Amino acid sequence: MLIKPNANILPDTGEPGFGIYLHWPFCAAKCPYCDFNSHVRHQPVDQQRFAEAFIKEIAYMRELSGPKTVTSIFVGGGTPSLMDPATIETVLDGVARSWHVPDGIEITMEANPSSVEADRFRGYRSAGVNRVSMGVQALNDKDLRFLGRLHNVEEALKAIGLARDIFPRMSFDLIYARPDQTIEAWEAELKQAISYAVDHLSLYQLTIEEGTAFYGLYKAGKLQTLDEERAADLYEATQEITAAQGMPAYEVSNHARPGAESRHNLTYWRYGDYAGIGPGAHGRLRHGAAKRATATERNPEAWLQRVEAERNGMVENELLGPEEQADELLLMGLRLREGVDLARWQHLSRRDPDPDREQALLDLGFIERLGNSRLRCTPKGMLVLDSVVADLAF
Ligand code: SF4
């Protein structure tokens, strides 16, 4: 084991950082709302073979990135808690062999309550994982069944308790704006969730994504979604309750006690660099004045074969110029409560924000300046974030 399971996670420095994203693409069942790169296999997965392929692709990405100091590692999926602790350890060791991994960086893995066992959790902890992000999604059994989840509330609470005991940091996800959900029911559920939370919660509105089972039902008129006004009311209630309970939003859907923000996700939103490894992983790696945008083959077995033959499973490898980078910086940064660093945006775009467009958004109350150095969305602007970004971008 090369990574020490340090309990004192290094604090955020405010810098974009350099993250490593590892994608484990397998799940026990496909949730009807999910458009992630997740696959169900009815035969056991050859974890050792996959781990060896991860090691190969890690080494390849290291050649692309050059030497770097890692500020966070995130094992996402899929369901990484289906990985054996030995698989996690092998892959994390591969990262530590390729880049400099200081003691105490944030190392997160995603877990599902249905695949949680105490021994496995202890094994992940010994391998270096110091933060777990759990897919709880709802705190009532009827909605868990509707969301196609394999766990019930009792199992979710047991898994939360175990994670709290074993890992220094823990977050869990909930999905709200479910069909027929009333504001009173969501407020009660959210307050209950906060009482179980440690320091971080991810609260997503249910969206119907193309290609999912819910999309088919929605198109056939068999699934009703909340109207925009009710969904906006639920969003506002979410902001008020979490802020009042000391876990305000630091990003559109993410809430934390001060200092407990996800270091890894901040790297995405601050437009730092990250290496994306595993089937269907995306990455951004600096390349001189350009940024390299990478994506790997999504199908797990096809990815495996490519990596075994060519040491990488990349299917996209594109250099982004200054304007594309400036747009991405805006797209990601405006999601954050801290907003966008204007000097960085001006450096990349080689221009100032268009004064007329900026003024129009200021007048509408959608954006605000933080001194001369930062621009951010107001809570009202967050509700129409895509249009704000489209107005300010190239
Ligand atoms: S467990 Fe997560 S990744 Fe897997 S299908 Fe469900 S939502 Fe998607």
∠ at Cα 281 (276, 284), nearest 5°? 45
The ligand 1 atom at the shortest distance from the C-alpha of residue 77 is 3
Residue-level pLDDT at 351:
81
Phi, psi of 87 (to 5 degrees): -70, -45
Q: Strand 314-320 vs strand 290-296: parallel, antiparallel, or unpaired?
A: antiparallel
> Measuring CA to CA, which residue among 79, 86, 65, 98 is closest to residue 23?
79
Does the beta carbon of 133 sit less than 6 angstroms from any atom of ligand 1? no
The answer to pTM > 0.85 is: yes
Cα-to-centroid distance, 2 and ligand 1 (Å)? 30
Give the whole-angstrom CA distance, residue 103 versus residue 182.
45
User: For all residues of the chain together, what is the average pLDDT?
Assistant: 95
∠ at Cα 173 (154, 50), nearest 5°? 95
Residue-level pLDDT at 319:
97
| Pocket mutation for ligand 1, best pick of 23, 24, 26, 31 (most atoms within 8 Å of C-beta) | 31
Confidence of residue 280 (pLDDT cuts 50, 70, 90): very high
The ligand 1 atom at the shortest distance from the C-alpha of residue 137 is 7
Cβ within 8 Å of residue 155, ≥6 positions away? 113, 114, 116
Does the beta carbon of 135 sit less than 6 angstroms from any atom of ligand 1? yes
Cα-to-centroid distance, 141 and ligand 1 (Å)? 17
**Protein residue with its CA nearest to atom 3 in ligand 1:** 78
| Pocket mutation for ligand 1, best pick of 27, 115, 116, 136 (most atoms within 8 Å of C-beta) | 27
Give the whole-angstrom CA distance, residue 58 versus residue 384.
38
Q: What is the pLDDT of residues 281-291, one digit of tens each?
A: 999 999 988 99
Does the beta carbon of 115 sit less than 6 angstroms from any atom of ligand 1? no
Is it the case that residue 115 has pLDDT exceeding 80? no
Give the whole-angstrom CA distance, residue 265 versus residue 76.
12
Cα-to-centroid distance, 220 and ligand 1 (Å)? 23
Q: What is the pLDDT of residues 117-128, one digit of tens each?
A: 888 999 999 999
Mean pLDDT for the stretch of residues 151-169: 95
Give the whole-angstrom CA distance, residue 80 versus residue 111.
6
Cα-to-centroid distance, 77 and ligand 1 (Å)? 7
Residue-level pLDDT at 58:
98
Give the whole-angstrom CA distance, residue 52 versus residue 44.
17
Q: What is the pLDDT of residues 319-334, one digit of tens each?
A: 999 999 999 999 999 9
Percent of the chain with pLDDT over 70: 99
> Measuring CA to CA, which residue among 129, 116, 195 is closest to residue 156?
116
In DSSP terms, which residues pair with 200 in a beta bridge? 171, 256
Confidence of residue 1 (pLDDT cuts 50, 70, 90): confident
Cα-to-centroid distance, 26 and ligand 1 (Å)? 9
Higher-confidence residue of 7 and 67: namely: 67
